[in-house]
């Protein structure tokens, strides 16, 4: 879902291209609520179970299952997930058709990434009673298992049974986004917002869909709304800065990227993007600091390494630029842009042979610009 493309330094004239990292949090967070049985619920069930045709042993088993169920909820609330599952297991041994125990155990298994176990629970729950909650849980699980189209069917079923559930629209919209169906994604995100107008994640993701549809102003409004609703969404500040950079508001972009890293000081993508905004403001020293900070956090993040080379080039530190490009190529020998950039720097170092060799490699990898530069190698 992210558009990541290295920008290319200009040889003598021209314009650079920026990397926009838009981070839609599709399927990015999970909602589920575990409910305890109240004393009145247990009493009502006891009254029903003590009627004609219900043996005392069934009553005892069901009551014990409910006690274990509530104990599982207590374990879950204390983040003791393994103990919660054990309590659900015992409750289901006593009462195999205990619907709430099934889908709540399924959600915990999902949280623990035991997707086959979660799928088993949700399948059983749907077999007993096809509820929206069970279809939603199975949709999450199928998506995690890579069965995206089956997950979409489950979200459809959840929506049909519970059309006022914003979560189902949100996650279905995420699948539409991944499928490149951005109009459908916008429709689902909009439905989710209509049902829950303070749903910050949905505003962020609808902004990403609008960006894909080339509606930057709508995207900007949605990202801004997401940051207002939840100032802790560091990725929303990053996305807002990306749109501002696309619109040429580099100073505004710097402010948003700064807000992003203030919330999450380890968010190297925002450091990289702030470095790019500063690059376009011609503050090359500051941009190098940002690219270096991104690499300090994640030394495998090649866009920052390439971009730092570009900034060094602008400061006429051609040898330093070559060192950074060498490091990129060492990890990604198929980066046409980096070969092109390194060739440009070598040309400035009067290494014509090295420059032509790099441009030839870039051209072989598909760079049309490199083919133009190769013309000078024949002179």
Identify the band that residue 268 occupies on the pLDDT scale cut at 50, 70 and 90: very high
74: tokens are 């207590």
Length of the chain: 379
Please determine, for residue 210, whether its predicted confidence score (pLDDT) is greater than 80.
yes
Q: Of 249 and 90, which is predicted with more confidence?
A: 249
Please determine, for residue 311, whether its predicted confidence score (pLDDT) is greater than 90.
yes
pLDDT value for 205: 95
Q: Picking from 80-84, 130-134, 365-369, which range would have the lowest pLDDT averaged per residue?
A: 80-84
Segment 177-189 shows an average pLDDT of 97
Do 23 and 239 contact (CB within 8 A), yes or no?
Answer: yes
Identify the band that residue 60 occupies on the pLDDT scale cut at 50, 70 and 90: low
Segment 365-379 shows an average pLDDT of 88
Q: Of 329 and 38, which is predicted with more confidence?
A: 329
Q: Which residue from 341, 339, 340 is spatially nearest to 309, judged by alpha carbons? A: 341
Segment 96-102 shows an average pLDDT of 87
Please determine, for residue 276, whether its predicted confidence score (pLDDT) is greater than 60.
yes
Beta bridge partners of 20: 3
- In DSSP notation, 162-205 reads -TT-HHHHHHHHHHHHHTT-HHHHHHHHHHHHHH-TT-HHHHHH
Please determine, for residue 3, whether its predicted confidence score (pLDDT) is greater than 50.
no
Average pLDDT for the chain: 84
pTM above 0.85, yes or no: no
In whole angstroms, give the CA distance from residue 296 to residue 290. 10
Q: Of 78 and 365, which is predicted with more confidence?
A: 365
Segment 187-197 shows an average pLDDT of 97
Q: Of 77 and 39, which is predicted with more confidence?
A: 77
Segment 235-246 shows an average pLDDT of 95
Do 142 and 122 contact (CB within 8 A), yes or no?
Answer: no
Residue with tokens 């399948």: 123
Domain ranges of the chain: 56-163
Please determine, for residue 236, whether its predicted confidence score (pLDDT) is greater than 60.
yes
pLDDT value for 114: 95
Identify the band that residue 79 occupies on the pLDDT scale cut at 50, 70 and 90: confident
Under 8 Å CB-to-CB from 101, ≥6 apart: which residues?
65, 69, 72, 88, 91, 92, 95
Do 263 and 232 contact (CB within 8 A), yes or no?
Answer: yes
- In DSSP notation, 354-378 reads HHHHHHHHHHHTT-HHHHHHGGGGG
Identify the band that residue 35 occupies on the pLDDT scale cut at 50, 70 and 90: very low
Q: Of 340 and 50, which is predicted with more confidence?
A: 340
Domain 56-163 carries which CATH code?
A: 1.25.40.10
Please determine, for residue 185, whether its predicted confidence score (pLDDT) is greater than 90.
yes
pLDDT value for 71: 83
Residue with tokens 């990434």: 113
**In this prediction, what percent of the chain has a pLDDT beyond 70?**
84
């Amino acid at each position: 879902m992210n558009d990541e493309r290295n920008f290319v330094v200009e040889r003598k004239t021209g314009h650079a291209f920026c990397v926009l990292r838009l981070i839609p949090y599709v399927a990015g967070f999970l909602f589920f609520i575990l409910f305890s049985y109240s004393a009145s619920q247990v009493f009502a069930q006891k009254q029903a179970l003590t009627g004609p045709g219900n043996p005392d042993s069934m009553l005892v088993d069901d009551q014990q299952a409910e006690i274990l169920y509530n104990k599982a909820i207590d374990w879950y609330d204390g983040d003791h997930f393994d103990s919660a599952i054990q309590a659900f297991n015992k409750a289901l041994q006593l009462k195999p058709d205990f619907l709430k125990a099934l889908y709540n155990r399924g959600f915990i298994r999902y949280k623990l990434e035991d997707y086959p176990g979660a799928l088993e629970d949700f399948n059983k729950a749907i077999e007993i009673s096809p509820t929206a909650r069970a279809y939603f849980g199975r949709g999450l699980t199928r998506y995690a298992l890579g069965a995206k189209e089956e997950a979409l069917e489950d979200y459809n079923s959840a929506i049909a049974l519970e059309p006022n559930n914003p979560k189902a629209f949100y996650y279905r919209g995420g699948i539409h986004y991944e499928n490149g169906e951005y109009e459908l994604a916008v429709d689902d995100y909009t439905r989710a917002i209509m049902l829950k107008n303070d749903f910050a994640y949905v505003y962020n993701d609808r902004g990403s869909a609008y960006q894909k549809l080339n509606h930057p102003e709508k995207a900007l409004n949605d990202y801004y709304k997401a940051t207002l609703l939840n100032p802790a969404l560091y990725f929303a500040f990053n996305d807002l800065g990306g749109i501002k950079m696309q619109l040429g508001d580099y100073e505004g972009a710097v402010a948003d990227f700064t807000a992003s890293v203030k919330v999450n000081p380890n968010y190297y993508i925002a450091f990289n993007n702030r470095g790019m905004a500063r690059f376009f403001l011609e503050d090359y020293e500051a941009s190098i600091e940002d690219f270096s900070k991104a690499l300090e956090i994640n030394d495998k993040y090649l866009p920052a390494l390439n971009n730092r080379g570009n900034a060094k080039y602008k400061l006429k530190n051609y040898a330093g630029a070559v060192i950074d490009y060498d490091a990129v190529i060492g990890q990604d020998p198929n980066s046409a842009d980096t070969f092109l950039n390194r060739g440009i720097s070598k040309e400035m170092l009067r290494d014509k042979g090295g420059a032509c060799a790099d441009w030839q490699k870039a051209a072989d990898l598909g760079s049309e610009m490199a083919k133009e530069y190769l013309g000078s190698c024949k002179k």
